[in-house]
Amino acid sequence: MVDEYLTIKELTESVGGNMTPRMVRHYHQVGLLAQPVRSHSNYRLYTQQDVQQLRRIVALKQQGFQLSHIRQLLETDSAGEVNTLTTQLQQQYQSVMQQLARLRQTAAALEGLLGRDRACQNLQAEAIAQLRLLEVETQDGLGQLEQLWDSWDAATHDHPEAFAESLQRLLPDLSDRSEIEADLLAKLVLACGDVSLVNFVRLGNRAIAAARDALSSNCQVVGDVPAVVAALDQTRLKHLGCKVTTLIDDPHITSAAEAEQVFWHQNQHKLQQLERGCVLVVGYAPSVLMAACEAVESGMQPALIIGMPIGFSHAPAAKRRLMRSRIPFITTEGTLGGGLLAAVALNALAESLIEKPDCHCYLG
């Protein structure tokens, strides 16, 4: 019978997430965990039910709930527990999204200033001076910024935007990345207009080296849907001798939902027909990426998978599976992604290979 119990140390190891015995004892004190049974030596003994309860507490804390609120949720009548918890999580999600929207508005205002190129430096100095004045007078300088945009934006008609200068001011420090990886990240940011994307891009298992080797070997390039293939740089890929094909070759597919349904019902077997050493570019259907990961585990050997499908539950799960695989990959964590980003990633690699064929900075 004793063998069925866990010590407090075994409990924390089962839960993971940096859980400590001290935290468990605190949860007992505040009423989140019931007091456990004791051994003959007065040690606390726990069950699998305690493990599940503690995991729920950890999950709710990660969602931003306070301990007092978590206790209320855990005490909810079991009959309505799922619905109540779902409602609470939806409310928490909306609150987080509102915070993100406010932060995004602030970031957009700062990008509008810091992203000015050299030709707009005088204007930038004037804008900063105006902001300083607004801050003194209203303590809400960024909130008042909209009133000033019209006059400042007039200067944008005088010259084309210097993207490189803007990115130099806005991108985080990429000095620890190779030149090719930094170029890839910059192009992805330009494709979506969101500098924060840099924090969510993941490259694994010598991805750049694998991509360059495959493209140099005239590999097959496979896009999941026609829209992704249309966004690929056909001219450079043809120059490299790469044949471009479409996995779900249906010209009527215009959304991730359509791609998902068509692949799920008709096209899963096509993955087995892909050439060894190909590059698979997934920008729409999460089922394609999930099936590709399964095929890799069964023996399929692509050189690289660029996995950036769209979706809110299946896509993040497929990306996590990709990041655990042994195949070189480029992906974006969470729900971020899309066909354009996936195509831009491959285009950037093809361009760097043609323009800098002898570069080996990515091997450092």
pLDDT at 243: 96
Q: What is the pLDDT of residue 360?
A: 81
Q: Which residue has the tokens 């990306």?
A: 319
pLDDT score of 313: 86
Please indicate, yes or no, if residue 86 is contained in any of the structural domains.
no
Which of 112, 135, 160 represents a domain boundary (last residue)? 160
Q: What's the confidence (pLDDT) of residue 133?
A: 58
CB 249 within 8 A of CB 226: yes
Number of domains the chain contains = 3
pLDDT at residue 55, rounded to an integer: 87
Is the residue at 317 inside a domain? yes
What's the pLDDT score for residue 288? 93
Q: 176 and 150, same structural domain?
A: no
- The arithmetic mean of pLDDT across residues 201-214, rounded, is 94
pLDDT of residue 356: 93
Q: Which range is least confidently modeled, 113-127, 166-180, 328-342?
A: 113-127
- Please indicate, yes or no, whether residues 109 and 201 belong to a single structural domain of this protein: no
Tell me the per-residue pLDDT of 2-29, one tens digit each, with 9 for 90 and over: 557 889 988 898 888 788 888 899 888 8
Using 50, 70 and 90 to split pLDDT, how confident is the model at 1?
A: very low
Q: Are 274 and 280 in contact (CB under 8 A)?
A: yes
Boundaries of domain holding 123: 94-160
Domain assignment present for residue 88? The answer is no
**Pair (218, 335) in one structural domain:** yes
Q: Does some domain include residue 83? A: no
The residues that bridge with 45 in the sheet, in sequence order, are 37
Give the whole-number percent of the chain exceeding pLDDT 70: 81
**Residues 248-267 pLDDT 10s:** 988 888 888 898 888 887 76
| 13 in a structural domain | yes
Locate tokens 């004793």: which residue?
2
Q: Evaluate whether residue 85 is within a structural domain.
A: no
Q: Do 29 and 53 belong to one domain?
A: yes
Same domain, 204 and 340: yes
Q: What percent of the chain has pLDDT over 90?
A: 38
Domain co-membership, 246 together with 134: no
Q: What is the pLDDT of residues 86-104, one digit of tens each?
A: 777 778 778 877 887 777 7
Helix ranges (H only) for 45-80 are 48-62, 67-74
Q: Is 339 found in the same domain as 208? A: yes
Does pLDDT of 110 surpass 80?
Answer: no
Q: Based on the number of CB atoms within 10 Å of its own CB, is 163 exposed (0-12), middle (13-18) or buried (19 or more)?
A: middle
Q: What is the pLDDT of residue 183?
A: 94
Name the pLDDT band for 240 (thresholds 50, 70, 90).
very high
* Buried b / exposed e along 131-140 (16+ C-beta atoms within 10 A): beebeeeeee
Q: Which of 224, 248, 217, 221 minimizes the C-alpha distance to 233?
A: 221
DSSP code at position 34:
P
283 and 308 in a single domain? The answer is yes
Of the two residues 80 and 30, the one the predictor is more confident about is 30
Check residues 202 and 105 and name the one with the higher pLDDT. 202
Report how far residue 338's alpha carbon sits from residue 285's, in angstroms, rounded to the nearest whole number: 9
- Asked if 12 and 133 sit in the same domain, the reply is no
Is 143 among the domain residues? Answer: yes
Inter-residue contact 197 to 189 (CB < 8 Å):
yes
Q: How do residues 271-313 score in pLDDT, each as one tens digit?
A: 888 999 999 999 999 999 999 999 998 889 999 999 999 988 8
Confidence of residue 201 (pLDDT cuts 50, 70, 90): very high
CATH number at residue 254: 3.40.50.10230
pLDDT tens track for 26-77: 888 888 888 888 888 888 888 888 888 888 888 888 777 778 778 777 766 4
129 plus 256 within the same structural domain: no
- Domain end, chosen from 106, 127, 160, is at 160
pLDDT (average), residues 141-163? 62
Task: State whether 125 and 61 are in the same domain.
Answer: no
| pLDDT for 160 | 76
Q: What is the pLDDT of residue 103?
A: 77
pLDDT attached to residue 79: 44
d(CA 117, CA 217): 40
198 and 282 share a domain? yes
357 within domain boundaries: yes
Here the CATH number for the domain that contains residue 19 is 1.10.1660.10
